[in-house]
Amino acid sequence: MNGILKKLLTLIVLPVAIVGLVYVIVDSIMQPVEFNKQKDYRESVAVQRLKDIRTLQVAFKGVNNRFSPTVDSLIDFYNTGNMAVVMQVGSTDDSLAVAHTSAIKKANKKITSEDLYKMYQAGDKNLVFSIEHKIPVKDTLFKDRDDFNAADLKYIPFSDGELVQMESIIKQVSGVPVPLFEARMPYKLLLKGLDNQLRINLDAERRAQNRFEGLQVGSISAPNNNAGNWE
């Protein structure tokens, strides 16, 4: 009887043990695969947000000759600020228009681009000049982006409301003052909720490569043309 029971237990327990072992093996393989899949997706969202921050920073610097130290001031700049846009009227390849415009300037040496623009609006289309207009930032940047929401820029995606880490300075480079900024999203926050050990391993790998453990755009250490560390 004991022999029969032993055989029955073997027939039952062994397949269960094999199934359990297979599950553990498959799970150990799939965990990194799923982690990397989620990591890639989250990075794609974060990279777009950092690119948007960079776009606004460049526009902010164009107006203020420095970068913004906070995302809040960037958001305010987007919602209420203005930026200069140069409009070209006429073509420099049009010799008749060039000659006509030159004659007007020669006759009136104090004439401005604003004066020429008034003449253009009044009906003189045979003019060549450029004029700078101040227009709202929000009417210029991200106009065709249905997914853009300025208020979201301050948050690290998937982090439950953690804030983007940002700094700006003016650094002396070869005796010249150079505005610099950087914005960071650490993996510890961007990958919140994913396998923590795999995230720790990723951070360790980045440190070994002397790279920031996360995503970063710009640098306050040295000019890098506002590059992102994913580029």
For all residues of the chain together, what is the average pLDDT? 90
Supply the pLDDT for residue 25. 66
Supply the pLDDT for residue 134. 87
How many Å apart are CA 30 and CA 38, to the nearest integer? Answer: 12
The better pLDDT of the pair 117, 154 is held by: 154
Q: Is the pLDDT of residue 45 over 90?
A: yes
SS (H, E, C) 3-35: HHHHHHHHHHHHHHHHHHHHHHHHHHHHHHHHH
pTM score above 0.85: no
- Chain mean position to CA 153: 9
Supply the pLDDT for residue 77. 97
The better pLDDT of the pair 204, 5 is held by: 204
| pLDDT tens, residue by residue, 76-116 | 999 999 988 888 999 989 999 999 999 999 999 889 988 99
Q: Predicted confidence band at 132 (pLDDT cuts at 50, 70, 90)?
A: confident
How many Å apart are CA 195 and CA 179, to the nearest integer? Answer: 38
Q: Predicted confidence band at 211 (pLDDT cuts at 50, 70, 90)?
A: very high
